[in-house]
Amino acid sequence: MRLGLPVASLVVAGLLFGLFILAVGRDPLAVYALIWRGGFGSGFAWQNTLSRASPIILTALAVAIPARMGLIQIGGEGALALGGLAASLTGIAAGSGSPVATQALMLIASMAAGGAWIAAVGALKHYRGVNETISSLLLAYIAIALFNHLVEGPFKDPGSLNKPSTRPLDAAVMIGSIPGLDVHWGLAAGVVLCLLAGFVLKHTRYGFALDTIGANPRVALLAGLPVGPAIVAGCFAGGAAAGLAGGFEVAAVNGNANTSLIVGYGYTGILVAFVARHQPLAILPVALLFGGIGASSGLLQRRLDLPDATVLVLQGVAFLVILAADPVAEIVGNRLRRSAA
């Protein structure tokens, strides 16, 4: 049953998307086949899918951890951008004397930047009562403005004319790929952090404290839990994950910070976290699925001449159906039971 409903809602989403494809005069079966091939049908497809999944895993964690405490923060896009910028600036400042040390510093800087940004959301919520959803959205917008200002102003590489960027990192300090997979280490970081978060949330006192705060903050306070510090720490952890996503995009993929960081991973992460019901372990398959759908976009464009937004439609339909699946299943279940009785 626990797996049945998500699978059933994916089938429904697929059918609705098929009707859409039919309605615009195309062959749904051919589209399904290409999505499968482009996302999961070859080594190259898997490599593309996994590279797309890794920032989504991390931005989903950024939503899932605070959500366990009842905080719906949606500022992952901003934390990711600042994390990427921090990694780039740290990498340039640290130089290539000791590549491993520089790489470590870049990733730490990206986590600190993203973490601080979302920790502020948690602190504003707990100590000032500012709604976290709205403050995180505003802070994301402010972060992206700051990012654009710094990338096009003080830290612009004079050589980057068409697309203002920070100076490129030295090739020696770029983070490489996981051996045998040809996917950068961000994927491993995402998987490890999901496993770690899953373990901490389920088996430690800190995880229990977060769930207690999420269930009822007043009870948590009465029980003597340090609610404020726990909220700030949880938000920091989430923001650090989103910052790390930006750090890897810069230090392992792009080599510099520019607007190609701001492509909506933060928003996809929010939906992935909701679909995974804020369970870190469930984030992994969901992120893989949506990474795969995204990866098939190029093939759909080349083979069927469909707009690249086709996969955006499928993702939108899938998210809407999955989010609505639970209560709909409940209503249908009740009807069935009533008619059987």
Residues lying near other proteins in the complex (CB under 8 A): 72, 74, 124, 126-131, 133-135, 137-139, 141-142, 145-146, 148-149, 152-153, 267-268, 270-271, 274, 307-317, 319-320, 323-324, 326-328, 330-331
Q: How far is the CB of 135 from other proteins (least distance, A)?
A: 6
Task: Please report, for residues 78, 86, 129, the alpha-carbon distance to residue 135 in angstroms, rounded to integers and kept in the order given.
Answer: 12, 22, 11
Between 258 and 268, name the residue whose CB sits nearer to other proteins: 268
Between 103 and 297, name the residue whose CB sits nearer to other proteins: 297
**Polymer length in residues for the chain:** 341
Between 145 and 178, name the residue whose CB sits nearer to other proteins: 145
Between 42 and 334, name the residue whose CB sits nearer to other proteins: 334
Q: How far is the CB of 17 from other proteins (least distance, A)?
A: 10
Bridge partners, 184 (sequence order): 177
Burial class of residue 183 (count of CB atoms within 10 Å of its CB; 0-12, 13-18, 19+) = buried
Between 183 and 282, name the residue whose CB sits nearer to other proteins: 282
Q: How far is the CB of 173 from other proteins (least distance, A)?
A: 28
* 193 vs 186: CA distance, rounded Å: 10
Residue 100: how many CB atoms within 10 A of its CB? 9
DSSP for 135-157?
HHHHHHHHHHHHHHHHHHTTT--
For tokens 């059933």, the residue is: 8
Question: b/e string for 41-53 if b means 16 or more Cβ within 10 A?
Answer: beeebbebbbbbb
Q: How far is the CB of 158 from other proteins (least distance, A)?
A: 15
Q: How far is the CB of 16 from other proteins (least distance, A)?
A: 11
Q: How far is the CB of 317 from other proteins (least distance, A)?
A: 7
Between 44 and 141, name the residue whose CB sits nearer to other proteins: 141
